[in-house]
């Protein structure tokens, strides 16, 4: 009885601090906790991938946010256009002007980024209608869209760097590998993008063999931003002697 009363009093105190415990013995386990193993996506992060950093051949790393200008303007818009055309997500615009996308999280991130710099997918498709596509598959590790550009047909490809880069002839492979490793070590999820002219018949068939002699556009680093309240929560855990690990 004494233990039950003590646990009840403690549970009431915790409830006043917005901590609810279903089973009283769980309080004992919580009191003895020395390590929190937390999921990452959607728990520590906002579950919203964002294109945050780019690597462009000849320029190096550049920020993806804001309106591109100077030497980075043309290659950044090229990356964004390819990312928006090779895409299966859907963009939604709210009454207040904010945008969100549904579908694959990577595709959604590229749509929102491209729209933010003035390259909406619907407008791009009106000027560059799609003739065919290759859907992403885990075994293939890339996706492609074939679009008409005036009198030409261009392929727009995005995927893993070691799957996309060989389509571009292979020159400069070491620089791309170093750039990919550098972005990954900063915590980014890295995708490669390429585009180039292809045969129209092969494009209409969605033939992967058409993807050769493309131009490598660069790398995009995507990140799922940390929830604003997480740094303080982790700091308070550590101050209380509780360590934190990510299990994802």
CB within 8 Å of 248: residues ≥ 6 apart: 39, 40, 41
| Alpha carbon separation from 191 to 135, 157, 181 (Å, rounded) | 16, 10, 12
Tell me if 102 sits within 8 A of 89, measured CB to CB: yes
Q: Which of 39, 115, 224, 243 is catalytic?
A: 39
Number of C-beta neighbours around residue 79 at 10 A: 31
Q: What is the dihedral of CA 142, 60, 79, 67, to 10 degrees?
A: 150
Contacts of 84 (CB under 8 A, 6+ apart): 110, 111, 114, 115, 119, 120, 121, 124
**What secondary structure letter does DSSP report for 119?**
-
Instruction: Name the burial class of residue 165, with classes exposed (0-12), middle (13-18) and buried (19+) by CB atoms within 10 angstroms of its CB.
Output: buried
Helix residue ranges, H only, the chain: 2-16, 25-31, 73-85, 105-116, 121-127, 161-164, 173-185, 200-205, 230-239
Q: Round to whole Å and give the CA distance between 220 and 243.
A: 33
Q: Does 107 participate in catalysis according to the annotation?
A: no
Taking Cα atoms as reference points, which of 132, 89, 130 lies closest to residue 107? 89
Which residues are marked as active site? 39
């Amino acid at each position: 009885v004494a233990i039950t009363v003590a646990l009840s009093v403690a549970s009431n105190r915790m409830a006043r601090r917005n901590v609810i415990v279903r089973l009283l013995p769980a309080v004992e386990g919580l009191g003895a906790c020395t390590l929190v193993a937390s999921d990452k996506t959607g728990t520590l992060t906002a579950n919203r991938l964002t294109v945050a950093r780019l690597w462009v051949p000849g320029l190096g790393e550049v920020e993806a946010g804001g309106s591109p200008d100077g030497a980075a303007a043309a290659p950044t818009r090229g990356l964004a256009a390819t990312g928006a055309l090779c895409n299966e997500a859907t963009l939604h615009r709210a009454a207040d002007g904010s945008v969100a996308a549904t579908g694959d999280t990577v595709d959604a991130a590229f749509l929102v980024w491209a729209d933010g710099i003035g390259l909406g997918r619907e407008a791009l498709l009106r000027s560059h209608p799609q003739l065919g596509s290759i859907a992403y598959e885990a075994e293939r590790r890339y996706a492609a869209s074939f679009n008409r550009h005036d009198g030409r047909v261009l392929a727009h490809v995005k995927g893993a760097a070691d799957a996309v880069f060989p389509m571009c002839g292979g020159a400069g492979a070491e620089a791309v590998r170093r750039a990919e490793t550098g972005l990954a070590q900063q915590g980014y999820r890295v995708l490669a993008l390429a585009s180039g002219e292809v045969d129209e018949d092969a494009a209409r068939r969605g033939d992967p063999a058409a993807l050769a002699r493309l131009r490598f556009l660069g790398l995009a680093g995507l990140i799922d931003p940390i929830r604003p309240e997480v740094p303080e929560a982790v700091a308070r855990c550590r101050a209380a002697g509780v360590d934190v690990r990510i299990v994802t």
